[in-house]
Structure 1
């Protein structure tokens, strides 16, 4: 890197060391609690959908899920001459555990990129934002596509981070298969299960959700990208948004589906529909587990930022989630469904 860039980079290292109370940011260190929380806040602010869900710290690596949100009604009556009144626990009744596992977010920035940023007064912010924005993208990919937590991940085989952690949809498929419709045919063709998306969503809401959630005002319909065209759902309100903005933006569709607001979230499976409330989905990150090291690697003409934190993806109340998976649409080319 250029000499002027080197001065800026050294100042960045000194600032990171100062913030975290260490003498050297190029040796592995534990991120200070206040810095850890600020970093989590910045990651959450980087993606629209992360602002809508729960991204919460937990103290234990493993434990019972927090049960955020309301899972059942509270109203009732008891003949106290015969029985005691029984208060209800309003959090989710199923006692499912979470395990926060280490996730590495290791990134690199080429010297040439740092040299290009050196002329800007917000050099340190640009270096920081590259990492936080990618962590936000990665969390969306894992939440929607995560299938396993492999000891050694393979990005080439799993380009949507399917092997990094178990995501929300996998939890629904595994822990609540009765709340999943799979291989549903939707369209105006022979053999259709439903003629319209409205009918499919209406049926899923009434048949798959717990009854007290079916009329909840905070339910949304999250729709896959292959369903987003004018033949099926109408045009996006934000179709002209810049590519970089769309990469982290939750798009509000121009119509409701089954009476619920429809939205499109980055990296959601292309042929699926999820009905839930955003705050029924959580990412737990374990306090005090974020580790970091920044190093200069002249052998690769880049700086490298090694970060890790323990995290888990949790569906708080499975009774408030319905998944329509593997949707098939009429195909003129195949003269059937695809």
Structure 2
């Protein structure tokens, strides 16, 4: 690093050490619980989707959900006025079922070459720019793992699992594991079933996205259909928009509505959303607050050091985290890999 860059880096490290209440950030240290929440609030704020779902610090590496779900009801009468042998009894308002969450270790390790730092040092706020970029990447990784995580490998392999499938167990995998009847992948009829294939389009299992979303809604108990939204893959949205473009190709005003997302903003009566990294042909119906990201309190460890052998600054962070679906009765989705949306002249779907 150049002299000016070194001075800035040293000043930043002193400021960070003071903020975290440690002698030096070069040695691995535990982030105080009072700062952990602030640290990850900044990460969640980097992505709108994460701001909508649940996130919380939990004390234990494994335990039961800390959020509440809808139960069977809490209103009634005990009849104490006419029978003095009876007494009023309270009901558990949380309505929580005995289902465990379990956090797993995750490592967020990044580096910045000295040459890059030298180039950035002309910006007075280059450290904040760097931190903002890292926070955003952390947020995007949380979302990606939430959709694609299937298992926890002892040593992860980004080449073999580019969608971070081996880092943690995500929301969709939790449904597959704990409520497989809510993860739809087969189409056809009882007489002519199709395995791992659901057709969406004219002559298919669903004529359009509205029908598919509506079918998922029907699988959720009526009293739990509160705050439901439809998260739809970008390939399905693009296909549906293309139909509107084709239909209104000679009507400029209608074309404008499509571009302004005024024509296509609900499916099956639900507000629809596109979320980063969501499987391109997937359809998910749930409420945002039914999806949770937990981090175990007192599990965050950090260190920042300048590595002369590799001419770079290395930033290490570890945490224990997990993904959780609060109410398995309030979620249903169609597997992206099973969906077929194009039919050729011979009637073959792809």
Relative to the length of structure 1, the TM-score reads 0.88
Per the alignment, residue 246 of structure 1 pairs with none
Are 2:281 and 1:271 equivalent residues in the alignment? Answer: yes
Per the alignment, residue 311 of structure 1 pairs with 321
Distance 1:8 1:322, change over 3 A: same
Once the two structures are overlaid, the 10-residue window that deviates more, 292-301 or 133-142, is 292-301
Q: Distance in 1 between matches of 2:303 and 2:28?
A: 5
Matches within 5 A, 1:1-338: 1-80=1-80, 85-184=88-187, 185-190=198-203, 192-206=204-218, 208-214=219-225, 216=226, 218-231=227-240, 254-325=264-335, 326-332=338-344, 335-338=347-350
Once the two structures are overlaid, the 10-residue window that deviates more, 257-266 or 26-35, is 26-35
Q: Distance in 1 between matches of 2:348 and 2:112?
A: 48
Instruction: Give how far 1:331 is off.
Output: 3.2
Instruction: Give how far 1:300 is off.
Output: 2.3
Give secondary structure in 2 for the equivalent of 1:285: strand
Give secondary structure in 1 for the equivalent of 2:320: strand
Counterpart contact for 1:69–1:279, Cα < 8 Å? no
How many residues in Structure 1 have an aligned counterpart in Structure 2? 325
Give secondary structure in 1 for the equivalent of 2:34: helix
Q: Distance in 1 between matches of 2:262 and 2:305?
A: 41
Give secondary structure in 2 for the equivalent of 1:203: helix
For residues 64-85 of structure 1, what are the alpha-carbon distances to aligned partners after superposition, in whole Å with 9 as ceiling and x for unaligned? 1223343444344555557655
What is the Cα-based RMSD across aligned positions, in Å?
Answer: 2.7
Give secondary structure in 1 for the equivalent of 2:109: strand
Q: Distance in 2 between matches of 1:200 and 1:136?
A: 30
Q: Distance in 2 between matches of 1:53 and 1:27?
A: 34
Relative to the length of structure 2, the TM-score reads 0.85
For residues 159-187 of structure 1, what are the alpha-carbon distances to aligned partners after superposition, in whole Å with 9 as ceiling and x for unaligned? 11100000001001110112222144343
Distance 1:335 1:299, change over 3 A: farther
Q: Distance in 2 between matches of 1:257 and 1:148?
A: 32
Give secondary structure in 1 for the equivalent of 2:91: coil
Task: Could you tell me which runs of 5 or more consecutive residues in structure 2 were left unpaired when the two chains were aligned.
Answer: 188-197, 246-254
Q: Distance in 1 between matches of 2:159 and 2:13?
A: 32
Give secondary structure in 2 for the equivalent of 1:331: coil
Distance 1:252 1:127, change over 3 A: farther
Counterpart contact for 1:222–1:264, Cα < 8 Å? yes
Q: Distance in 2 between matches of 1:25 and 1:162?
A: 31
Counterpart contact for 1:143–1:167, Cα < 8 Å? yes
